[in-house]
Structure 1
């Protein structure tokens, strides 16, 4: 049975963790530079498998996120005990979900329309490995707490509960196709009107991260040397890796109306299963993969020869890659006979195979490629494996990467994924139209730039991040920056604001604490403030002069609630992507489990 979508959906927010990438910007930087983000361990770095050191087939490599024991529990209102018990996959996915909302310029604390959540996870180890001491540690836990220990449950439910999201919240399990399967379901919830926003994503942690693996010649998928060579004539498998990603989706017409910044547009998505039409349970099928790609293209209602990049699954197993490329070749052939016009790539050569999160990582890479107009380098590639028959296909591979040329049509791409068990998923993306900047948008005039955080340290980090960001993104309109900060962030207890007339003045205030910056507030509680967001200072802002804006900013810094939307009601401002919250993480692991227990804080 097929689950399909055929309406334009916008990707408006992204949060991610990947090897050597603490955020989306670092992820894109690594991809566009053609970096292989695999860590090769020294013997003293191994967390397990030391008994395999003398085995010549033991490969001490993996793609690791690092600091997976760190989490800002207090920010999310989570007790230390609960945070210790939560699987690190859940903690990281929660952070990425928050970042997706902030990246979209949506204040998740405001009463929102229905938000659906679809996501899944995988992992090579439980959070509780077979260790006698740790088993004894949790043997006396109340039953209501033991539900927090399995890694295979509650990923989406926790996010819905903690962030207050009231739409469908469903776990998706489709092996390596989980991420794109979640995307198809998220799009469908928007199309049917069951949701107005949809948060989708996936998480995969390879635990322990610094473990390495034993290569076996007849085993499936794993590289003998720690390098992934997708599509290459020396391809022989990939590397274990960790990855977490979350994307926020909205109907395109709503995103345009709300003046959101859009990474890419989802034109069509298809989802099916090979059923029995495959050699065995773990092998990919050809016929239904072809049908899945073709269906997504038909639903997208765009000519196949205008799709000029495909982000493939590309697991670097010659047989699997050959079947995948052949399936896509046949789907394209139904519409065009053109050859070698569509670039082919996969993020797995950069970061390894992230299990359930693999499709999400490829989707994020492709959305960023469309946004920046770049086809990134395909790393570890010399020449194609002969089984791919690329000369007789629409595809070609660019080891060095290139600018993404644009003809008369919009840039378009496909993202493909399949998983053990037969699930196939394919998505067709299109670049978002550029918002034209009106002349005089950055004219020298005063604007309010408000920032807030839960702690003084986080506020200081936020100021530093924003100042650095604005220096490196001169294309962002200052009016849009002010608008996004005011309406797109949750108001926190520690507040800071500045009235600045130009970029230089704002950056100087952010990084130097000079100019007209208002002082950080004390412990201003947000609870018990009037629900009606009107302040005495607001009426005076009609003049927009510096003095009245500073009075309004001072009122906000002192804890008053401000109707920012009224301030911008006569202006055509757009949301822009700005640095997200700087979580102040602490170690949370079972060894640090808080021994105190209060049932009232759980039940």
Structure 2
């Protein structure tokens, strides 16, 4: 085996990505934001904390030095019904878990991996996270408000929730190394894949800033930017601004991804993590030695010369000390033997969206994959005068101040992503541009019809899905770039099929789009092949279709519209559904996870032991009576629960 074969055998493909970032609800929106040089930070919204009460331009103890941050819009929005949760359960669940569930599903759809086909496999889940703000908020409301439901909000449940919902049996771990957490999670996932422990890995970084505490600490430490903007490499850099982020990548061994026809967005060639040890003289001080060592280890692991790297997504938080140290370390390692006319490009997504702490590395990885796909590096914002702490004239390093094309060297672009934590844990990941996609299959003869199958969990979601597909297949839609056969093949074999279904038979993009745009039904054709007509009818009736037999030769997976989440806001400060009418009906609406009738068992509708504890508290509040847990525990059906509550209410004074 030659060296190239050896590297490819150890390499890992990024086959799917998804994110929810300030100003960007997905990778495409993130690229638009980066390309256009948008600063997505904003003033702290009131549902986080009262910034007016805490902010001071000359902050003292207990005060915060900035009014701004990078915040997700709709951070409390969630599709509880899709994930089989009752309204009460969703309300009590940390929004970090909720957003991770939806973002991971988006990433699997981007990868063309059907979640139902992953059930029972050793797929691993690796999550970088350092915050448990939602749980801490509940504790601070007083111990009398704490219930058993808070067990669901321990940080170890972040990956476990996803593994449980998808029935994944591989590693399921939280990694907390502070701001390098999500890159440490990527490194751990790569090792698991290389060792054959996991056939697939879902890697995430999750960070929601719900409390001001860390902002106060960072203000006292002089690490928070007064104007709320991270000014990487600038002479006026005075610290970072905090940011939200939920990012997910789906990883698979490169050889397996190629064999399975998966989309390959980038290739991870190597990675390394390492601690500063005692090289800095103080635990919380960054170490140039530690960073240099990890950079060298990462490129040794990748089998790549550092001089061949085109771009590095820096940790780049806006710290006047750390920025200079990082740039100098990059110049030392990646500048060696580098031609003077090919400087290393270095940037930081934190200048656009803030510092997402434990999720900052995954945000940087997603940005870097987009850079390699587009062949461009966006500007780093807020750079006026480069910091004099860096010997710019001696280092072949350039921080782009405008959109910068990557140079064509007749080889794939290469990049690195760095992360440093206050834990003194440094991480670096080395990636390369994916090889060009194979040419699309020769389009079928004009007029050949295909079956396009769509589905959703609810009728409302199916309506929304139909609309997005009408736009996707329409004249200006992205679907027009792909053969209709590949689109239909991808929808049939690479998406999970839900109970509410729609099947359309058509022979062109326009015909399919017109059907969706009109009524969502199959267009009238003079002749629909019997095989397609029968398959369409069987699919609409929730029957099983042999898609491989129907398609014949396998098609190529192409990007498709993502699932249309039907979200509602779940936040403790908002009013719960006011009790109206029958008490039993109200209890069932609040706690049942699925539809039901009187014969449904409580277990089948999701009313488990934890839900029963909640019901006991609510019934005591509503009736003023002491509720016997043993009586409730002995009930088995919805009808029995309904009758028991009504009897209790009838005997309430």
| 2:91 match | 84
Q: What is residue 295 of structure 1 aligned with on the other side?
A: 297
Distance (Å, rounded) in 1 between the aligned partners of 2:133 and 2:340: 46
Distance 1:442 1:18, change over 3 A: farther
Using the alignment, how far apart are the partners of 2:427 and 2:21 within structure 1?
A: 22
Query: For residues 393-542 of structure 1, what are the structure 2 equivalents within 5 Å?
Result: 393-438=395-440, 440-441=442-443, 443-444=445-446, 445-470=448-473, 471-473=476-478, 474-513=480-519, 516-517=522-523
Equivalent residue, structure 2, for 1:74: 81
Query: Structure 1 residues 251, 395: closer, same or farther in 2, change over 3 A?
Result: same
Q: Say if 2:65 is the partner of 1:63.
A: no
- 1:327 is matched with which residue? 329
- The Cα shift of 1:550 comes to 2.9
Q: CA deviation at 1:546?
A: 4.2
Matched, 1:364 2:366: yes
Q: Residues 442, 511 of structure 1: CA spacing in aligned structure 2 closer, same or farther, 3 A cutoff?
A: farther
Shift of 1:548: 2.8
2:201 counterpart residue number: 198
Q: Quote the residue 2:133 is aligned against.
A: 125
Counterpart of 2:563? 581
Q: Mark the structure with the bigger radius of gyration.
A: 2
Q: Which has the larger helix fraction?
A: 2
TM-score (norm 1): 0.87
Q: What residue number does 2:535 align with?
A: 552
Offset of residue 246 of structure 1: 0.9
Q: Does 1:96 find its partner at 2:103?
A: yes
Task: Indicate the RMSD between aligned Cα atoms, in angstroms.
Answer: 2.8
1:466, CA displacement in angstroms? 2.8
Cα 1:312–1:443 shift into 2, 3 Å: farther
Would the alpha carbon gap of residues 282 and 441 (structure 1) be closer, same or farther in structure 2, given more than 3 Å must change?
farther
For residue 172 of structure 2, what is the aligned residue in structure 1?
Answer: 169
- Tell me how far 1:376 sits from its aligned partner: 1.4
Moved more, 71-80 or 361-370: 71-80
For residues 345-397 of structure 1, give each alpha carbon's deviation from its aligned partner in whole angstroms, at most 9, with x where no partner exists.
01000000001000000000001111122211222222421212233223212
The worse-fitting range, judged by mean Cα deviation, of 262-271 and 219-228 is 219-228
Unaligned runs of 5+ in 1: 519-543
Go from structure 1 to structure 2 and tell me whether the alpha carbon gap of 1:517 and 1:439 turns closer, same or farther (over 3 Å shift).
same
Mapped partners of 2:219, 2:426: distance in 1: 27
Note if contact 1:261-1:574 (Cα within 8 Å) is conserved in structure 2. Answer: no
- Per the TM alignment, residue 567 of structure 1 is displaced from its structure 2 partner at its CA by 2.7
| Alpha-carbon shift at residue 171 of structure 1 (Å) | 1.2
- TM-score under structure 2 normalisation? 0.81
User: Which residue does 1:254 correspond to in 2?
Assistant: 256
Rounded Cα–Cα distance in structure 1 between residues aligned with 2:339 and 2:25: 42
Q: State the alpha-carbon separation in 2 of the partners of residues 288 and 337 from structure 1.
A: 26
**Once the two structures are superposed, what CA deviation does each residue of 1:305-327 show, in whole Å capped at 9, x if it has no partner?**
32111100001112101111122
Q: Displacement, 1:590?
A: 3.6
Other structure's SS at 1:387 match: coil
Alignment of 1:315-394 (within 5 A): 315-336=317-338, 338=340, 340-394=342-396
- Secondary structure at the aligned position of 2:137 is classed as coil
2:18 maps to which of 15, 18, 32: 15
Question: What are the equivalent positions in structure 2 for 1:108-123 lying under 5 Å apart?
Answer: 108-111=115-118, 113-123=121-131
How far apart, in 2, do the equivalents of 1:557 and 1:213 lie? Answer: 53
- Aligned-residue offset at 1:38: 0.6
Distance change (3 Å), C-alpha of 1:130 and 1:48: farther
> Any idea what SS the aligned residue of 1:436 has?
coil
Moved more, 404-413 or 561-570: 561-570
Picking from 225, 239, 245, the partner of 1:223 is: 225
CA displacement 1:532-564 (0-9 Å, x = unmatched): xxxxxxxxxxxx964432331221111111121
Aligned mates of 2:55, 2:418 — CA distance in 1: 37
Aligned length: 567
Q: Secondary structure at the match of 1:180?
A: helix
Q: 1:335 to 1:158 in 2, by over 3 A?
A: farther
Deviation at 1:157, TM superposition (A): 0.9
- The 2-side partners of 1:283 and 1:587 are apart by 41
Identify the residue that residue 536 of structure 1 maps to in structure 2.
none
Provide the rounded CA distance (Å) in 2 between the counterparts of 1:505 and 1:551. Answer: 20
Contact persistence 2:307–2:336 (CA under 8 A): no
Q: Distance in 1 between matches of 2:169 and 2:218?
A: 47
Shift of 1:34: 1.1
